[in-house]
Amino acid sequence: MKTSRTQVDERRTAASVLVIGTGAAGLRTAIELAECGTQVLCVGKRRRDDAHTVLASGGINAALGTMDPEDGWEQHAADTLRESYWLADPRTVELLCREAPAAIDDLVRYGAQFAREDDGRLTQRFFGAHRWRRTCFAGDYTGREIQRALVRRATELGVAMRDDVYVTRLLVHDGRVFGAYGFDLEEGSRWIIVADAVVLAAGGHTRIWRRSSSRRDENTGDAMRLGAEAGCRLRDMELVQFHPTGMVFPEESAGILVTEAVRGEGGILRNAVGERFMERYDPERLELSTRDRVALANYTEIAEGRGTEHGGVLLDVSQLDRDLVLRRLPRMYRQFIDLAMLDITRAPMEVAPTAHYSMGGIRVDAETHATDVEGLYAVGECATGVHGANRLGGNSLAECVVFGRIVGAEAARWSAGLDAQVRDRAAIAAAREEVDELLARRGEEFARPLQRAVRDLMSECCGVVRSGDGLEQGLARLAEVAARADAMEVRPDIAGYDDLAHAFDLQGSLLAARATLQCALERRETRGAHNRLDFPEQDPRFQMNLVWTIDGTVTREPVPPPSRAVAALSERPAAAIPGRLLE
Ligand SMILES: Cc1cc2nc3c(=O)[nH]c(=O)nc-3n(C[C@H](O)[C@H](O)[C@H](O)COP(=O)(O)OP(=O)(O)OC[C@H]3O[C@@H](n4cnc5c(N)ncnc54)[C@H](O)[C@@H]3O)c2cc1C
């Protein structure tokens, strides 16, 4: 239905539950809602078959015991908690690990083709820091296969999905959500979507660093802004996983992931003066050391002036048999030929740490993933609780599908139990005015260079290694960029409303960057992915989660203890199993 209130085309629609995000988390939530018989609308700002989830390659974890019958969910939970440096919420982790096998069954039921043994069992492989083989995979296209299966199932169920709606604001009255406001990316027409419940499944914030394994215009911190402005608190925003090896050259490919498998297959790291520098950082495990240690080593070599011309270190597989490289690392071979005209069987790759995964995000209830706002849930990479200070590879896809199911059921229950809802016209008007105001603004600034300024300052002031002075400087620089954004001009054109989307992406990035810097300043210790030059030791007083509110306040929240069985298992030394890749 069109309204006559504004000159722009404004449409109003209603859903029992609105899901924002069509990646693995959003789609799995929508499927559960549809299976519960609840009407659902699922929207995204990018084509559903190309959501960020399709980049996931390595696999998805569940303690199925198909290869190692000794495995069980308790050991999966113990591994996850230990590697989180005891910052993950044990209740969330235990739920994840208990439910992951059923979530894999669901994916198989939806038609996901995971690798299998000759006798039909699902093949499971090692991923770093797991005690047993528990990672299911589909070649190195696991994310794409899962996304495909979820899209297919959602379509079969008749889930209403739109790929062209950019959500700019959640509609809230008196602490309770009643929908969202947005615009059509092509035509610019506006959407008022009224809903009993809203689920945020809109991804993380790792695109706010110069080198990022996310593509352009994804993971710009939208979920964090939408949530925080609606009244949610964020948690552990400083905990961002930097993958040790991203491409550095050419510039337009900077950050694209160079898989851990390169080191697993025997890739050697050297600095620009030819030293195999991992001998200094982890003489026993060398290149097979943990992800955070290799990232720190690469960063240090570059920062201390032993980096390459383009600001990286060298990762070399040219000493390996050419056939083996072509067989075992075909995607990497193709990636470097396509993007850098480099034959990795003859010359080393240039790599550097790249922002990879948001371990912090919207603070949610440990079990239901309800947020601080009634009727609003958060799930997937935008939520927090599972990974603490270091994410185990393969756990985030599991998180998306396990908690997608749980949140779908919770939102369905909330919707069914709602007697009445106030649809506050003032809240709708404020959302409308925000878009109008951006479109009317005239000035000297444009979104893209300002996004670049945020990425530069986050890389320089809040990268792999941080310090109090650097973080303070980062906040000051961020305030300057925010002030420049007030003079930002937005000019949609015949090609569509991308420019308006970039302006909102920038707002998300500004908020996510501020939260990250303020939490990083507060965490005065070194733990997992968070390295403070001025506080180089882990400090037991910080075995706490940091909770951020939009006014910039950061408070500490205790982490509950794990169950006794899981705690006991986490103390067992890791088994020395041949062929195991340590991340
Ligand atoms: C290179 C790479 C490899 C990886 N490999 C693995 C792996 O092997 N195993 C593993 O477990 N994890 C892996 N991960 C992590 C994993 O892929 C992600 O954490 C996961 O896919 C996140 O899914 P999601 O559904 O939460 O969000 P996403 O897939 O990011 O989806 C977010 C959705 O929100 C929508 N959206 C965002 N903002 C708005 C807005 N303002 N309005 C409307 N819609 C919006 C987007 O369009 C999109 O549909 C990898 C990540 C990368 C980058």
Per-residue pLDDT of the chain (583 residues; tens, 9 = 90+): 344 444 679 999 999 999 999 999 999 999 999 999 999 999 999 999 999 999 998 899 999 999 999 999 999 999 999 999 999 999 999 999 999 999 999 999 999 999 999 999 999 988 777 888 999 999 878 999 999 999 999 999 999 999 999 999 999 999 999 999 999 999 999 999 999 999 999 999 999 999 999 999 999 999 999 999 999 999 999 999 999 999 999 988 999 999 888 888 889 999 999 999 999 999 988 988 878 889 999 999 999 999 999 999 999 999 999 998 898 888 889 999 999 999 999 999 999 999 999 999 999 999 999 999 999 999 999 999 999 999 988 999 999 999 999 999 999 999 999 999 999 999 999 999 999 999 999 999 999 999 999 999 999 999 999 999 999 999 999 999 999 999 999 988 888 899 999 999 999 999 999 999 999 999 999 999 999 999 999 999 999 999 999 999 999 999 999 999 999 998 876 554 444 443 3
Q: 302: closest CA among 277, 273, 271, 258?
A: 271
CA 132 – CA 298 distance, rounded (Å) = 28
Sign of CA dihedral 565, 567, 568, 571: positive
263 catalytic per annotation: yes
Q: What is the pTM of this model?
A: 0.95
User: How confident is the model at residue 570, as a pLDDT?
Assistant: 86
243 catalytic per annotation: yes
Q: Which neighbouring-strand residues pair with 531?
A: 465
User: How confident is the model at residue 52, as a pLDDT?
Assistant: 97
Count other C-beta atoms under 10 Å from residue 306's C-beta: 16
Contact partners, residue 371, CB within 8 Å, separation at least 6:
200, 227, 232, 362, 363, 364, 365, 377, 378
User: How confident is the model at residue 573, as a pLDDT?
Assistant: 65
- The catalytic residue among 243, 391, 514, 580 is 243
User: How confident is the model at residue 285, as a pLDDT?
Assistant: 85
> Is the previous residue joined to 250 through a cis bond, with omega within 30 degrees of 0?
yes
The alpha carbon of 276 and the centre of ligand 1 are apart by a number of angstroms equal to 34
* Residues 147, 52 contacting (CB under 8 angstroms): no
Ligand 1, CB cutoff 6 Å, lining residues: 20-26, 43-46, 51-53, 55-60, 142-143, 165-167, 201-203, 213-214, 218, 222, 257, 357, 380-381, 393-397, 400
User: How confident is the model at residue 549, as a pLDDT?
Assistant: 98
Closest-CA residue, ligand 1 atom 8, reads 58
User: How confident is the model at residue 571, as a pLDDT?
Assistant: 80
* Residues 368, 414 contacting (CB under 8 angstroms): no
Contact partners, residue 492, CB within 8 Å, separation at least 6:
188, 439, 498, 499, 500
User: How confident is the model at residue 2, as a pLDDT?
Assistant: 43
Angle between helix 498-522 and 425-440 (nearest 10) = 110
Q: Calculate ∠ Cα 62-68-73, nearest 5°.
A: 35
